[in-house]
Amino acid sequence: MLNKLAAIAKNTFVETIRQPVYAVILGIALLLFLLSPSLSMYTMDDDNKLLREIGLSTLFLTSLFVAIFSASGAVAVELENKTILTVLTKPVQRPIFVLAKFLGVAAAVALAHYIGTIALLMVIRHGVLETASDTHDWTVVGSAAVILGITLLLSTFFNYAYDWKFTSTAVVVLAILATFGIVFLALIDRDWQFGPSRNGIQRLDVYGAALLFLAALVIAALAVAVSSRFNTVATLSACIGLFLLGLTSDYVFGRFAATHLWARIGRALVPNLQVFWISDAIYEGSAVPARYILVGGAYALCYTTAILAVAVTLFQRRQVG
């Protein structure tokens, strides 16, 4: 059973990162990260706080769309093309199939989120040029240029020499090189001196990215559940709807929960995505304790498990022949 689970999850992950839309979403996200210092330099206040919020928003939306399109390609497209029959006739139990698809999609989301997080940390390390006397952090600029340049060269070489798919190769190579890049920046300061204490990487940013990944897992579970019964358009609509409703849960349900039953039901059924958003901590300058990450993880685990249980129930009754 575990072998089947691992095999389907691995195949789903590989097929997901090979989809052109995966690379397109990631490429647009990296471009937005690159532009974010310029977009946040006119606040007449602390521009770096807005930079953090724009960066986290970009990271959140990237994981959201990667989860939606990955789940649609992994489940809905297989149902439409009837290729799912070759898997279910092995035999593979339907609960195993659903769980494996979720794990594969979650791994693809994790890879995109990881690359996005490193890009976010680099952008925050560089900061906003708030005054005319501010200068670029050339360690960040140089590291990013080297990472992107080597990624393009290696991906082109492997595509030409071994016929590896360019987009998926580029994503994997980028993740590896970005890891070396962020380690380098964690040790070297903007004056090209060894100074880990001056690396500009704050715990708040890492915690914020970790919380958004937990939210992305909830969205990924919902995308798998919806795509097991509906097509890509319906999956996209449902996930975006839940995303918007989850961000406004306190306003839509919370203020009526004390007096209305429907609000209490809605508050229980719809995950409150504000739990994973640290905008208040950014603007107030308050710390996010590690215990809060654990609580958020437990909250995400409960919702993800419940959604996957619904997905298994829906898929059990799905006619695939």
Q: What is the pLDDT of residues 99-109, one digit of tens each?
A: 988 999 999 99
Confidence of residue 58 (pLDDT cuts 50, 70, 90): very high
Work out the pLDDT band at 233, boundaries 50, 70, 90.
confident
Query: Is 298 a residue whose pLDDT tops 60?
Result: yes
More confident residue, 276 or 43: 276
| Predicted confidence (pLDDT) at residue 68 exceeds the cutoff of 90 | no
Q: Which of 30-44, 184-198, 209-223, 302-316 has the highest mean pLDDT?
A: 209-223
Q: What is the per-residue pLDDT for 216? A: 92
Q: Any idea which of 5-9, 213-217, 225-229, 279-283 has the lowest mean pLDDT?
A: 279-283
Residue 122's nearest CA partner among 63, 180, 194 is 180
Identify the band that residue 29 occupies on the pLDDT scale cut at 50, 70 and 90: very high
pLDDT of residue 77: 66
Q: What is the rounded average pLDDT of the residues 105-121?
A: 95
Q: What is the mean pLDDT of residues 68-72?
A: 82
DSSP, collapsed to helix, strand or coil, labels residue 190 as: coil
Q: Is the pLDDT of residue 313 over 70?
A: yes
Mean pLDDT of 134-156: 92
- Residue 265 corresponds to which tokens in the numbers above? 């039901």
The string over 198-209, giving b where at least 16 C-beta atoms fall within 10 Å of a residue's C-beta and e elsewhere, is ebbbeebbebbb
User: Which phi and psi angles does 40 have, rounded to 5°?
Assistant: -115, 20
Distance CA 19, CA 92 (A): 25
Whether the full predicted model's pTM is greater than 0.85, yes or no, is yes
Burial class (CB in 10 A: 0-12, 13-18, 19+), 175: middle
d(CA 199, CA 256): 45
Nearest to 10 by CA among 111, 79, 85, 113: 111
pLDDT confidence band for 5 (50 / 70 / 90): confident
pLDDT at 321 over 60: no
pLDDT surpasses 90 at 38:
no
Reported as half-sphere exposure (CB side, CA atoms, 13 A), residue 134 has a value of 11
What mean pLDDT do residues 18-31 have? 92
Pair 116, 58: CB distance under 8 Å: yes
Whether residue 91 is predicted with pLDDT greater than 80 in this model: the reply is: no
Question: 71-80, 114-123, 216-225: which has the highest mean pLDDT?
Answer: 114-123
pLDDT of residue 320: 62
Q: Is pLDDT above 80 for 319? A: no
Look-up: residue for tokens 């308050």? 286
133-137, 245-249, 269-273, 280-284: least confidently modelled range: 280-284
Question: Which pLDDT score is estimated for 278?
Answer: 82
CA–CA gap between residue 32 and residue 43 (Å, rounded) = 18
Phi, psi of 271 (to 5 degrees): -65, 135
Greater model confidence, 24 or 131: 24
